[in-house]
Structure 1
C-alpha cells in the first residue's frame, strides 16, 4: 500500500525534489535498529518511503527518509516530534525521528491496507455511509491534534489510510507556519467530496495528481449531488459548507460531533437527521443561516393548512348544496379536482436513466459530412474504451458554415429531469444543453431544424469547460422533457499532436425521476 501519499505542498517542498545520493539498500539497518526491507514509493516531496522492521521490538515499521538531513529536514523532524506527543486510535503512531546530517528519517507505524486515494481510484466513489465514517474518524483525529495546540497541515486522500481491519488513520503531519486549524477542517470537506465524487475540490495543491472537481465559470466546485445521484442532502450541505470559506469553519470537536451524528444516522439512510448543528466552537447550536430555511418551512406549512381549510370548506359547502353528493377537493389542483396542471415537482433523489444505442444519435447540421453517424452509441455503452470522437477541424468553432455538432437523446416519453452529465477526453470544450418537442429526422435538414428550434437551458450558459466533466442541472422541475440535445459549439486543440481541433465525448448520463 502507499504508506505516504500525495499530500499538500509546503514551502519547504517548493524548492524541488530532494537529493537522493547515497540511497539506502534492502537489508541496511538504520540507527542499529530499523532494518529496511522494501522501497514502497516516494511521496510528493521526493522523500523515500520504506517498509522495515524494528529488530529490537520485532514489529513492522514505515521509514520515511529525506536527503539531505540538517536544516532541510528540520520541518519534517519537528512535525514528527509533535505528532508523537498525540496518541489517538485514528492517528498513525510515530516512533522515532533521527537526523544524521547526510540524511534524516522518521520511523512510524506500518499500516496494512490502502490509502483513500487508492481505494477511490480503484473502486470509484464510496457510498455515503462509508464516506461519512471515514470523515468522522479523521475529524476525531484532528480534534485530538488541535486540542494540543498543534496543526496537522497534510489532510489529504493520500495521507488518509484505511487499514485491512477497518481502522482509519491519518498519517504524516507536515504543518508549517502557513497552515492552520481551519485549513485542516476545510480539508475534511475535501475528503468528503473526494470520497463521494472521486474528484478533489481544493485548488491549493497545484501539482495534485487527483482528478479535479467539476467547476463553474468562477472556479467553484459543483455540489456532490450535482455530480452523483443518491448523496443525502444533509451530507451534501455539510460538505459544501466545509469547502465554502464564506461559511465559518467549525472547531474540530464540533465537526467530529456532527459527523458522529450523521454516522449514526447512516444506518437509517440519514432519515430525520435534522439541520446541521455546529457553529464555530459550539457543536449543538444551529447556524444562523438555517433560520431562513426554518421560517420558509413554517410559512409553507401555514399556507398548506390554509389551503386545505379553504378547500375543506368548499367541499362541505358543495356537499350540502348538491343533495349529499361529495365533491373531492385537491390541494394544488383545480376547483373541480382536476390536478393535471398542478405542479408535479419531484421530491425523491434523482436516479440514472438507462440509455441505449437506439435512444441517441449524432446531430450534424448542414454542411457536415455526417461521417460521425452511429458514434453516439459509444457515449452510452458504459465502455471506457469507446467514445464519440469528432472529426478534426481547422477551426475550433467548426468553421463559419457549421454551428456545431451534438448528441440527441430521445427518452422515449416525457420525463422529469435533474441533470445531464458529460465526460470528455480533454477540457476546453464549449457546449450547452438544448431541449425540443420532436425529432424531425436523422437527415441534414432534420438536424438543421433541431439546431434552429431547440431552446437552450437558460441557466446553463455556454463557457469553456475547466475540466473533463460538465454537469447541466437547470431543468425546470415543473416541466417534462423527452428530447435533449448535448451540443458542442467550440472544440479544444487536438491532443494527439497533429494539429487542428477535436475532442472525444466519452460518456453521457441523464438523471431524473
Structure 2
C-alpha cells in the first residue's frame, strides 16, 4: 500500500513530458515487452526518465531507465551510447546496494526510433520507498542516516575496485529498501561521470537525509537546493539542523566540496569515516539513554546490598576494650616522644647559638640580596619585543564546517586567563573527521609578529601559528610560521622570523585528551611584535 502511494506521489511530481512522446502509464516499449506502470523521476542531465514497468514475458516488475532524445541529434545519440555501454559493463557487478542490470536495449536492438527513445536500461525492481518521499516531511535522524548510507558507500567502494562508475548522483535514482538501506534502483551513469562524482554523491545523499536539501547541481525541482554562504562555501548540515553531530556534518561537507584541505576524495576514506561517525553517534545515544534511565555511565549493573548489624553485647564489649587499649598506648607513645624532644634541646647548648642583645643590634648584617641584573639591550641575533598589541577581533576559524563555541571566542583576548574558549568534544583525534580548528585574530593594521603567548591552555594541545591574507582564507592559502605543544600554565610560541601581517591564526592541529574524549581550551592569547 505504501509503495502504491509512493508511485502516485512520484507520478504527480514528475508528470509526463512531451519530449518523451507517448511515454505514459499503459504505454509499451522495448518491442512491446515492457508496459509502463508509474514514473518515478527524471534526470534532466541525461534525458533519463525513470519508470516502473511490467515485463510481459517473464511476468515480473522491472525498473526502466529510458533515455529520451532525438535519434537525428548526433551528440545526444553519442551520449546515450556511452551511457548504455557503462550500464552494460555494470551488468557484471553484483551488490545489495545496486539493482542488478538485466538488459540494455539500444536503437535497432529492442528500441525503435518511433518510440522517441535512444536506449533503455532494464534492472530488477527495488521494493521500498522513494527517497524524496522519505525526506518530504522531516529529515532523518543522524544515526539512521549514517546507517542508511553505509550500504551505498560499500557498493561504491566495491565498484570502484572494479573500475566501475555507478552514477548515483541523483536522488530519484535511489530507493530505500524494506530493510532500511539505500539502493541504486536506476543505474545508468552519465557519459562523463567519474569516480569522484560517486564519492561526492554519497556526501550529497547524507546531506539530503540530514537536512532535506540536495547539495549537487542538477537535482529535481521537488527538493530544495542546499544553501551556500556568501563566500561560496556549502552551509554545513549542523547549521540547518542543530541536532546533527559535528562529525557527520563535517563529513558531508568535506565529501561534497572539491576545494580546501582535508577533503574526502575516495570511497574507502568516506566509508571509514562514516563507520566511525556512526559508532560515535551510537555511543552518544547510549549515554543519553542511560542518563534518561538514571544510570551512570560507570555503572556495571552490579547490585550492592547491606545486612543489618547483629546485636551482640559480648562482641561490643570486646570491641570497646580493644579500642580503649589502643588509645592509651597511642597517648603513652606521644608523651614519650615529647619528653625526648625537650630533653634533646635543653642539653644541647651549642645548638642554641650565641646570645643576641635585641636592644643593641650586632654590626654584622646579612648581606642584602643583589638587585636583579638589568635587562640586556639584546644579544646578537635576539629579536627585541615591543609591547603587546591587542587584537581588533578574534573569531573561530573552521574551514571544514561548523565553528566550535563561536560565542566564547572573545574570552581568548579579554585579559583574563580564567575565562576560556574551548573546542567541541570529539570522539576521534584530528584529522580523522576534521582537519583542525583555530582562532583567527584580526588587527587594526598590519603588525610584525614575533611571539605569541598562550595561557590557560590544555596540556598536550599542538598548535600552529599561521599567517593569512584575509579574514576568511582557505587553509592551504595560509602559511605556518610557528608551532608548539602547549602546557597548562603558559606557553611562548616564538616565531623563527618575525612575520608581517594583519591576520594570524592559532590553529589546533591536535587536541588534548584520549579514549574518545578529545577537547582543548585556550585561556588567553597575547601577541608580541618585534620592535
Structure with higher Rg: it is 2
TM-score, normalised on structure 2?
Answer: 0.47
